[in-house]
A and B are shown apart, each in its own frame.
Chain A
Amino acid sequence: MKHINTLNTLQNTVAKGGCGECQTVANQACEN
């Protein structure tokens, strides 16, 4: 793209989300 540079490639985390194993939010790691 000439005008837009996308830095990263949430809706894909719904299906497997919510396991709750991650540490007790903007940067924490998923531990699923």
Chain B
Amino acid sequence: MIHKYRMNGLNIVLDVNSGAVHLVDDVVYDILDFYKEIPDEDIASKLADKYTAEAVAEGLEEIRELEKNKMLYSQDIFAEVIPKVENRNPVVKALCLHIAHDCNLKCKYCFAEEGEYHGKRELMSLEVGKKAIDFLIKNSGNRKNLEVDFFGGEPLMNFEVVKGIVEYARSIEKEAGKNFRFTITTNGILLNDDIMDYINKNMHNVVLSIDGRKEVNDRMRPRAGGQGTYDTIVPKFQKLADSRNQTDYYVRGTFTRYNLDFAKDVLHLADLGFKQISVEPVVTDDKEPYAIRQEDLPAIFDEYENLAMKILERRKNGQWFNFFHFMIDLTGGPCVVKRMVGCGSGTEYLAVTPTGDLYPCHQFVGMEQFKMGTVDSGVVKPEIRKAFEGCNVYTKPKCRECWARFYCSGGCVANSYNTHGDLITPYEIGCEMQRKRIECAIMIKACENNG
């Protein structure tokens, strides 16, 4: 299977099963429309009005050479890897700790409903946090690298417990033979110098929530009283990003139907001095007026291309910044096993509520049918884990046929469930945007590689 497309004057061909990316001239690009569809000897006559027979013969020879080297039309040999995935000992290596089911903002698109996750306002106790760390170590098998993400609601509303959990994990990690990585997500309202200093010393990554331009951010991310937040958080975020040398953080925003010109928000964040930027499409009930609709996709595709061109232009002028959804590693990246299974929600990655309940990931918290157990009992509903173990790009019929499957890993299971009520039917609007982003990401790499 191959995928070919034109962007920014380049003819790009991706060989899906090997991951090889080729830049080709017009001759080869057009030959590929017929290759394997009709006999090779008929292709020259099909293209006789555009190319000489000699040029077509040369192109065909190069195509065959790459095919022989398993870099074009390579076979899908990965279905045989599935038992390797399914028979792995179930281990947990990452937890999302819902340190606070409470929030000081009232963001209109928040899936957690002001941080409460369809429940009541609660803060995690240090006792529950310690039990979560114990649960993680006990269930992590021989995995060395363990991850703990402090999430909410707003984690800074319970920051003393965050510090207590980090201290506890650090006190036992060596003896347990583990290596903890901590991350935290914040809306920034409560950030101060002491908290920034602590985050810089203890958090491998920090996510700072802001949507972009002031009017865009303040429309969707107001305080409970309706006042905007932009003026409060921007100077704090700038200070924190600079204090981390512009690495190991993201400013992270959401775009909605209200700002389909979201490239302006990305560039605004870059103009504020941020170098690590993510602005992502809202995923919400399709009845919401700000939800992304199928009819919005052409405008969104144009905007992603527009953004890709702006990124190239800025990088050429020494104004480099990184855009989360255009990151792609064509020369390394993870193994194919990882690419097949993705994030590991419900298996390797679980969410813990303030009272210690376990869920497949933060997006499932509050859906009682997905409660898997507690930090005391462990996983007592293995059938839920089994259902998530069965999610990979070969068990999802639409993914099996998709050229982008090894770059998106089958998409977000929570999005599937929220749109279709099952775990394996992808959220189509999300798929279409993802494919466009991958095309843009490969194009950027191709331009940078080609000087």
Q: Which residues in A have some Cβ–Cβ distance to B below 8 Å?
A: 1-11, 13-14, 16-18, 20-32
Cα(A30)–Cα(B66), bound, Å: 26
Cα(A32)–Cα(B335), bound, Å: 9
Tell me, yes or no, whether B143 is within 8 Å of chain A by CB: yes
Tell me, yes or no, whether B24 is within 8 Å of chain A by CB: yes
Q: How far is the CB of A2 from the nearest CB of chain B, in Å?
A: 6
Judge whether A10 and B18 touch: CB under 8 Å: yes
Cα(A2)–Cα(B344), bound, Å: 43
- Closest residue on chain B to residue A6 by CB atoms: B22
Q: Which residues of B contact A5 (CB under 8 A)?
A: 22-24, 450
Which of B37-45, B263-271, B323-331, B383-391 is the interface stretch?
A: B323-331
Tell me, yes or no, whether B203 is within 8 Å of chain A by CB: no
Judge whether B62 and A26 touch: CB under 8 Å: no
Q: Which residues in B have some Cβ–Cβ distance to A below 8 Å?
A: 17-25, 27-28, 58-59, 62-63, 65-66, 70-71, 74, 77-78, 81, 84-85, 88, 91, 93-94, 143-145, 147, 181, 327-339, 342-344, 348-349, 406-409, 438, 441, 445-446, 449-450
Interface centre among A10, A27, A29 (most CB of B within 10 A): A10
Q: Which residues of A contact B328 (CB under 8 A)?
A: 26-27
Judge whether B338 and A27 touch: CB under 8 Å: no
Determine which of A11, A20, A22 lies in contact with B17 in the assembled complex, contact meaning CB atoms within 8 Å.
A11
Judge whether B62 and A18 touch: CB under 8 Å: no
Q: How far is the CB of B253 from the nearest CB of chain A, in Å?
A: 19
Judge whether A23 and B181 touch: CB under 8 Å: yes
Judge whether A14 and B408 touch: CB under 8 Å: no
Judge whether A4 and B24 touch: CB under 8 Å: yes
Judge whether B65 and A25 touch: CB under 8 Å: no
Q: How far is the CB of B23 from the nearest CB of chain A, in Å?
A: 4
Judge whether B88 and A18 touch: CB under 8 Å: yes
Judge whether B62 and A1 touch: CB under 8 Å: yes
Q: A24-B343, A26-B328, A26-B438 are in contact. Are A11 and B338 (CB under 8 A)?
A: no
Q: Which residues of B contact A22 (CB under 8 A)?
A: 145, 334, 338
Cα(A21)–Cα(B93), bound, Å: 9
Judge whether A7 and B22 touch: CB under 8 Å: yes
Judge whether B24 and A11 touch: CB under 8 Å: no
Q: Which residues of A contact B22 (CB under 8 A)?
A: 4-7
Cα(A17)–Cα(B74), bound, Å: 19
Judge whether B20 and A9 touch: CB under 8 Å: yes
Q: Which residues of B contact A27 (CB under 8 A)?
A: 327-329, 333
Judge whether A8 and B330 touch: CB under 8 Å: yes
Q: How far is the CB of A11 from the nearest CB of chain B, in Å?
A: 6
Q: Which residues of A contact B24 (CB under 8 A)?
A: 3-5
User: Can you name 8 extra interface pairs (CB under 8 A) apart from A16-B335, A20-B93, A30-B335?
Assistant: A4-B66, A8-B20, A11-B17, A17-B336, A17-B338, A18-B85, A25-B333, A25-B408
Judge whether B18 and A11 touch: CB under 8 Å: yes
Judge whether A18 and B335 touch: CB under 8 Å: yes
Judge whether A8 and B331 touch: CB under 8 Å: yes
Cα(A6)–Cα(B450), bound, Å: 11
- Closest residue on chain A to residue B445 by CB atoms: A7
Judge whether B23 and A21 touch: CB under 8 Å: no
Q: A6-B66, A7-B22, A10-B19 are in contact. Are A29 and B332 (CB under 8 A)?
A: yes
Q: Which residues of A contact B331 (CB under 8 A)?
A: 8
When A and B form their complex, which 4 residue pairs have the shortest distance between CB atoms, in order from nearest? A17-B335, A18-B337, A13-B335, A27-B327
Judge whether A6 and B71 touch: CB under 8 Å: yes
Judge whether A23 and B147 touch: CB under 8 Å: yes
Cα(A7)–Cα(B22), bound, Å: 6
Q: How far is the CB of B86 from the nearest CB of chain A, in Å?
A: 11
Determine which of B25, B339, B446 lies in contact with A10 in the assembled complex, contact meaning CB atoms within 8 Å.
B339
Cα(A4)–Cα(B13), bound, Å: 10
Determine which of A3, A11, A13, A24 lies in contact with B94 in the assembled complex, contact meaning CB atoms within 8 Å.
A24
Judge whether A6 and B20 touch: CB under 8 Å: yes
Q: Can you give 26 contacting A-B residue pairs, CB < 8 Å?
A: A3-B25, A3-B62, A4-B28, A4-B63, A4-B66, A6-B66, A7-B21, A7-B22, A8-B20, A10-B78, A11-B18, A11-B77, A13-B334, A13-B335, A14-B336, A17-B84, A17-B338, A18-B335, A20-B88, A20-B348, A24-B348, A24-B349, A25-B409, A26-B333, A29-B334, A32-B335
